[in-house]
Homo-oligomer: A and B are copies of this chain.
Amino acid sequence: MVIDQQKCLLMARTCACFSLRRASRLVSQAFDRALKPSGLRITQFSVLSAYHMSGDLGISKMSRGLGMDRTTLSRNLKLLAQKGLITLEPAEDRREQRVKVTQKGAQAFEQAVPYWEQAQQKVISTLGDEKWAAMQQDLRALAAGAK
Contacts and interface: CB of A to CB of B under 8 A. Distances in A.
A5 interface: yes
Q: Give the number of copies in the complex.
A: 2
Q: Which 9 A-B pairs have the closest CB atoms?
A: A126-B145, A24-B24, A8-B53, A30-B146, A26-B146, A23-B139, A22-B67, A17-B31, A20-B24
A22 B125 CA distance: 20
Is the contact region of chain A dominated by helix, strand, or loop, or is it mixed? helix
Nearest to A28: B17
B67 A43 contact: no
A147 interface: yes
26 contacts: A1-B110, A3-B110, A11-B113, A11-B116, A12-B46, A14-B120, A16-B123, A17-B123, A21-B24, A22-B67, A22-B139, A23-B139, A23-B140, A23-B142, A23-B146, A24-B24, A26-B67, A26-B142, A26-B143, A30-B146, A122-B145, A123-B145, A126-B141, A126-B142, A127-B141, A135-B135
